[in-house]
């Protein structure tokens, strides 16, 4: 492990970078700010190391940015309609920060906090971050205690293990918001990169605010179908209402073994670099976001990022699941343990 100063935030708090390298030369770099994944170097078919995730050069840019690059989202990822929900007969109101809804737990969330390093293991290339979120933060009930562990394996996988406990019934729906580009973070659009998703159902949204209708619709016969690998951009501009609502793909897909054992649910590939990414999770759903809302901005290492220059695969409960009886519930009972993991494994196709 290599540790170095990342930078100092506007309020004077210092942040650090932690880097781990495996026997193949792959390198994972994370920061204690937001328990954020800031760099991921993996070999392409020629053995050249390519940084396949988007990010910034300074910690303040992560705080000021609106894309949540690489951040852990906690306690609740995605959207909650009107920022309102009821648990145990009590109604809670969250901040409204996305149209009329709450997005990613609200402003100044876990992604902007400096987490404690709870432990490192040089032999397994792993690091654990800890954060205690006090009761009532952004309106959520319960003292919410989180540990997130990143591990870089010898087969070029990054595994993210989420653990949490609360002293009150609350929502627990953590995820990671890394943007991937398998040609390199500064290489341009991801629309010609192929994607396969095992999900045969998705949750249609009501309108541009991206709140699900409560239904689970088949992908068959629609541009939402990724059961067979296809370029992300092939149908992204199709004359299809769901895509028009949100400017492309920004939808929740329901996985076949919903909330069961760890399963492979996605495979992405970039022919030019030969880099393939397989994704595994024990979560019930995944949000596929194609970066439609990204605006021109300065990225790391002098890069400039534009619309659809990265894509996200966010393992999760369905958006607004707390308010939809048909969706698997994201309620974590007081004293019970939240425990889930997602892995992104990289290889080369010849």
Active site residues: 177, 314
Neighbours of 134 (CB within 10 A): 9
Tokens 């069961």 correspond to what residue?
260
Closest CA to 201 of 262, 282, 257: 257
- Give the sign of the dihedral formed by CA 301, CA 303, CA 307, CA 310: negative
Q: What is the DSSP letter of 224?
A: T
Which residues partner with 341 through β-bridges?
161
User: For residue 46, with 0-12 CB atoms within 10 Å meaning exposed, 13-18 middle and 19 or more buried, which class applies?
Assistant: exposed
Closest CA to 307 of 249, 253, 252: 249
Cβ-count burial 2-26 (b if 16+ within 10 Å, e if not): eeeebbebeeeeebbbbbbbbeeeb
Task: List CB contacts of 203: < 8 A, sequence separation 6 or more.
Answer: 212, 213, 214, 215, 216, 217, 251, 252, 253, 254, 285, 318, 319, 327
182 within 8 A of 270, measured Cβ to Cβ: yes
Closest CA to 52 of 273, 238, 249, 289: 273
Q: What is the DSSP letter of 114?
A: B
Closest CA to 189 of 129, 155, 231, 141: 231
- Give the sign of the dihedral formed by CA 224, CA 257, CA 74, CA 193: negative
Cβ-count burial 287-326 (b if 16+ within 10 Å, e if not): bbbbbeebeebebbeebebeebbbbbbbbbbbbbbbbbee
CA distance 219 to 204: 10
């Amino acid at each position: 492990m290599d540790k170095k100063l990342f930078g100092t935030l506007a309020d004077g708090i210092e942040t650090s970078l932690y880097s781990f390298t495996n026997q193949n030369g792959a390198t994972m770099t994370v920061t204690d700010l937001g328990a954020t994944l800031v760099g991921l170097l993996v070999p392409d078919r020629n053995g050249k190391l390519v940084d396949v995730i988007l990010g910034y050069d300074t910690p303040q840019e992560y705080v000021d940015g609106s894309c949540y690059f690489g951040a852990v989202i906690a306690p609740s990822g995605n959207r909650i309609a009107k920022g309102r929900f009821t648990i145990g007969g009590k109604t809670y109101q969250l901040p409204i920060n996305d149209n009329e809804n709450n997005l990613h737990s609200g402003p100044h969330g876990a992604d902007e906090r400096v987490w404690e390093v709870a432990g490192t293991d040089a032999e397994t290339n792993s690091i654990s971050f800890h954060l205690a979120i006090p009761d009532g933060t952004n309106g959520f009930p319960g003292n919410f205690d989180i540990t997130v562990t990143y591990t870089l394996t010898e087969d070029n996988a990054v595994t993210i293990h989420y653990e949490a406990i609360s002293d009150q019934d609350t929502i627990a729906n953590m995820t990671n918001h890394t943007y991937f580009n398998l040609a390199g973070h500064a290489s341009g659009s991801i629309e010609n990169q192929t994607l396969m998703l095992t999900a045969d159902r998705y949750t249609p949204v009501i309108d541009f605010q991206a709140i699900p209708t409560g239904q689970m619709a088949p992908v068959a016969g629609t541009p939402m179908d990724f059961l067979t690998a296809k370029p992300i951009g092939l149908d992204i501009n199709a004359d299809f209402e769901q895509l028009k609502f949100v400017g492309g793909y920004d939808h929740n897909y329901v996985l076949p073994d919903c909330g069961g054992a760890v399963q492979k649910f996605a495979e992405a590939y970039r022919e030019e670099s030969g880099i393939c990414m397989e994704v595994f999770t024990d979560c019930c759903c995944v949000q596929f976001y194609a970066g439609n809302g990204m605006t021109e901005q300065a990225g790391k290492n002098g890069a400039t990022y534009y619309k659809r220059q990265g894509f996200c695969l966010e393992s999760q409960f369905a958006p607004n699941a707390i308010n939809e009886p048909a969706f698997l519930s994201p309620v974590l009972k007081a004293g019970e343990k939240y425990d889930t993991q997602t892995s992104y494994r990289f290889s080369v196709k010849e």
